Each structure stands twice: as structure tokens, then as C-alpha cells.
Amino acid sequence: MTFSTQETNFVRQQVGLVTLPDGILRAITADTNDYLRLSLSSDGATIATVMQMPVRDIYLASGEKPDSSDMKQVTSGDPMTAISWASDGSLLAEHVPDIQFVAPDGTVKGAITSDKESSAFEPHGCSDGHVVVARGVLKTVSVNIWRIEANGSGLLRLSDGKDDEFPRCSPDGKTVFYLDMPAKALKRVPIDGGKSQAVTGAFVEANGGFDIARDGKTAVVGSYDFKVERPNISLVSLDSGEILRTLDYDVRHSGRLQFSPDGKGIVYPVQEKGVDNLWLQPLDGSAGRQLTNFTALRIYSYQWSPDGKSLALIRGDSPSDLVLIQNQKK
């Protein structure tokens, strides 16, 4: 079986053995790779499994080049899985089970750490200096939205669902938006705590995600057109919850969408021949265009700085190998 152990804070999918009839779980692997599928030989002596070795690094573009061709890799070898900006200009990097504060040159300045029974991920920096995260807790077997001070103190749970993810603060820092994953719903809650409310009745796809416009009036969500049975994009009023208009994706879309820094378009990754680039879809109906010109790697997370000039991304790949694990009898 594959499992996530308490010792690894739900970080990696490892291989383990459950003995019968006592039901004791014993780890067979304990490393930084993921083991995705497995099969067992008829004599029970050999396990075949797919080992995935994730590569996830931070890249940063200053904004001086429209196509981000000035982008530089600022971390290497220590996988990061999501990126955001803190109010002080540093980067918030998901380094499960912790959140790291990373300077633009790649230097780790500090971290919000987790204990063995929890794991913090999907960080988002708020304009008032707060940090909001999705946090999994082993005891309750749940994932909720939490608010944390930048120094790691003042932990406050904001949502109470079974699987709440992808928090984002409103531009004024007073509200936190997130996805209720089982309900496929966009919800909001006051940043100081209170009752969560659904923003809209629109079906929200996790793969498309959502974003909040810089004026705080509109959300864009990855939705689904059930009539034609394909994903699409919906612009939603945050006052009424009504869908203002829908747009079609580029057929190569791959990843979560965001508003462009000027608010005049929607941005999302597109994939061609195994390579991801950012694509801009203008809201005025004009033709979309590619923003970046990468020739390798996937895009796993991206966000513009609060001033809309710099762009941070997590880029990488997931090479895999077939591995045989054998029982060595003495």
C-alpha cells in the first residue's frame, strides 16, 4: 500500500506494509520521492512501484521584459510547491509541511513551522501582513483555512469544512476567499473569524481555481459548462454572486487562472509538447496571446507582486522511474 505517514506530515506518498492480524503499519520507504502505484509478485517477495522525483524551483522575473525573458532561477534542489508574495516584498513558499519566507535572491529568511500532526500549504500573503494557509490536521482528518501572523503566532482557524483549500485575501485584507472542495463552491469568511458564506452558486473546478480582482468587485473562477460538457471561465460579481459573463479557455489550458495585473485579462498556463507557458485572454474580446516563451518545464504556481511588476513562479518537472523493492531474506 502507499500511504502518507505522520512522521512526514502528509508530505510524501510512501510504501508501507500492514501486518495481519495485528494491523501494525511498517514503513518500507522513507525518502523525498513519491510512490504512486504498486503491484506485488505472486510469492510476495517483490514490489513493483512507480517512483516520482519532483523537481520544483522558484523563478523570478523583474517585469522589465514583457515576455519575462529576464526570468532567473533563485532556488534549486529543495522542492517548493506553491508561491505567493508577502506584504514586505518577500516570497511565501510552500515547503510542506512548513511555509518559508524567501528573499528575491533565494535566501530563506525564516519559516512558519508545523508540528508532526499538521501540515501547512497553499500560503497567501494579505495586504495587512497576515498570512492565510490551508492546514491539514491529523487528529480531525480535515483541511481548513487558518490565519497566521508573519512570525508564526496567532494561529486562528477561519473555516470548519472537511476540505477547504486555496485561500486568497481580498485586496483590503478584510475577507478571505477559499474553495470548499467537496461542494465545489467558492466561499468567503471575515479574516478575524466568523461564519463562512457561499459567494456564488456557480460550480468551481479546483483545476481552474479562482482569483479576486484588484478592485475587490469581481471574481474569476474556473467553472464548467454542463451543456457542452467542458470547462470554461466565469466572471462573478462579489456583491450579487451572479455570473456576469463566461469565456472559453484556449484548448491547451493547463492550470489555475488569475487576473492580469491591469485587470484587463485572464491569465492561465497553456501546455504544448509538455511545456507550460502563461497565456493572456483579454476581456475585451480581442485575440489571446502567449506571455512567456519557455522551452522546457511545467508551471505549478505563479503570482504577480502586489505592485503588478514582478512575477514569481514555481517551475519544474516530475520524472518517474519503475522501481523494484525486494525482500532480502537472511
Domain boundaries, given as residue ranges, for the chain: 2-52+320-326
* 3-state percent helix, strand, coil for the chain, nearest multiple of 5: 0, 50, 50
Inter-CA distances, 98 with 237, 258, 291, Å: 34, 25, 31
**pLDDT for the residue 126:** 96
Instruction: Give residue for cell 476567499.
Output: 177
Q: Is the pLDDT of residue 250 over 50?
A: yes
At residue 325 the predicted structure's pLDDT band, cuts being 50, 70 and 90, is: confident
pLDDT tens sequence across 115-143: 888 999 999 999 999 999 999 998 899 99
Q: Is the pLDDT of residue 281 over 70?
A: yes
CB 85 within 8 A of CB 306: yes
Handedness of CA 84, 89, 95, 99 (dihedral sign): negative
**pLDDT for the residue 12:** 63
Round to whole Å and give the CA distance between 105 and 72. Answer: 9
Residue 270 has a CB neighbour count (10 Å cut-off) of 22
Round to whole Å and give the CA distance between 171 and 160. Answer: 23
List of residues 6+ apart from 120 with CB closer than 8 A: 94, 96, 97, 98, 99, 112, 114, 133, 134, 135, 146, 148
List of residues 6+ apart from 249 with CB closer than 8 A: 231, 232, 233, 268, 281
List of residues 6+ apart from 326 with CB closer than 8 A: 45, 46, 47
Tell which phi-psi region holds residue 88, choosing left (phi > 0), alpha (psi between -120 and 50) or beta: alpha
Whole-prediction pTM value? 0.86
CB 91 within 8 A of CB 104: yes
At residue 297 the predicted structure's pLDDT band, cuts being 50, 70 and 90, is: very high
Round to whole Å and give the CA distance between 290 and 313. Answer: 16
Q: Is the pLDDT of residue 209 over 90?
A: yes
